[in-house]
Amino acid sequence: MNIEVLDSRMTDVVGADAVVEKLATGFDFTEGPVWHPTGKFLIFSDMPGDHMRRWTQAEGITTFRKPCFMANGNAYDRTGRLVTCEHASSRVTRTEHDGSITVLASHWDGKELNSPNDIVVRSDGTIFFTDPDFGRRERFGIPRKSELPFRGVYLITPAGELKLLADDFDQPNGLCFSRDEKTLFVNDSPRRHIRAFAVAGDTVTGGAVWAETGGAPHERNPDGMKVDTAGNVFCVGPGGIVVFDDKAVRLGTILFPENVANFAWGEDGLQSLLVTATSSLYRVRVKIPGLPAF
């Protein structure tokens, strides 16, 4: 049994017989998957290996970029350019259509960012990202002291201006928008909860706890997070991927044999969850499709 059902609607969202299929393995720690809807390929990161990889059904695993400054989260902007969070350099970068790299953010108030972690792009091109300090630790980055006294959530305007949105997290991690982009969900890994912010232009308000992800101390804290076309919120958490409805009611969990870090909707119909889980890449077909990357 690959799903834990807490609410009967879980089977309408995921299916009663979700199959967890291993696509590839042998990695150090996988993260940051993003599906290219027209190119039909997945890009994902392997932070300890300083390696970004590409997967297609036909070709399997190939190298996309190595070295990659221990990249973590990835997203596409509205024109299909890849934006990436880099742990080792404390930067957010963009890969241009010609392959060149543009630095979008590296410092706040004259101090280096901690280690940009996860990232999402709004439909108007505004980039939102989290900045915990995980990339200043062994294995997931380069050990070094933080210059900033907080771990924040930021946005980058289409004009390139960096703005701080919130600085009261312990370790902000996964983030995503509601379908109408009026709510920004951000989880806080050590505190094991998801917060919800009301979004208006380049500002956010609120930030109250929206849902608790729970779990025992040894289980996975919240990490990657996305919504499907019905507004359900999928969040990495204890056991695998925890599914909430749009009112924060917990429907159940898709269970995996390894700790999950992140996932993306991909393939035809965007009904495949392509899941990065420690040393492996998995696939699970679901009933309700996700949203396209761009």
Q: Give residue 17's pLDDT.
A: 84
- Average pLDDT, whole number, for the chain? 96
Average pLDDT score over residue span 113-141: 97
Question: Hey, where are the domains in the chain?
Answer: 3-285
Whether residue 214 is predicted with pLDDT greater than 90 in this model: the reply is no
Distance in angstroms (rounded) separating the CA atoms of residues 161 and 282: 37
Q: For the residues of 72-114, what is the DSSP string, one character each? A: EEEEE-TTS-EEEEETTTTEEEEE-TTS-EEEEE-EETTEE-S
Average pLDDT score over residue span 113-139: 97
**Amino acid identity, residue 178?**
S
Under the banding of pLDDT at 50, 70 and 90, the label for residue 210 is very high
Q: What is the pTM of this model?
A: 0.97
Q: How many alpha carbons fall within 13 Å on the CB side of residue 292?
A: 13
Whether residue 135 is predicted with pLDDT greater than 80 in this model: the reply is yes
Average pLDDT score over residue span 44-62: 97
Distance in angstroms (rounded) separating the CA atoms of residues 220 and 224: 11
Q: What is the pLDDT of residues 73-85, one digit of tens each?
A: 999 999 999 999 9
| CATH for the 3-285 domain, from 3.40.50.970, 2.120.10.30, 3.90.1300.10, 3.40.50.280 | 2.120.10.30
Find the DSSP H helices in 112-176. none
Q: Give residue 1's pLDDT.
A: 67
Under the banding of pLDDT at 50, 70 and 90, the label for residue 219 is confident
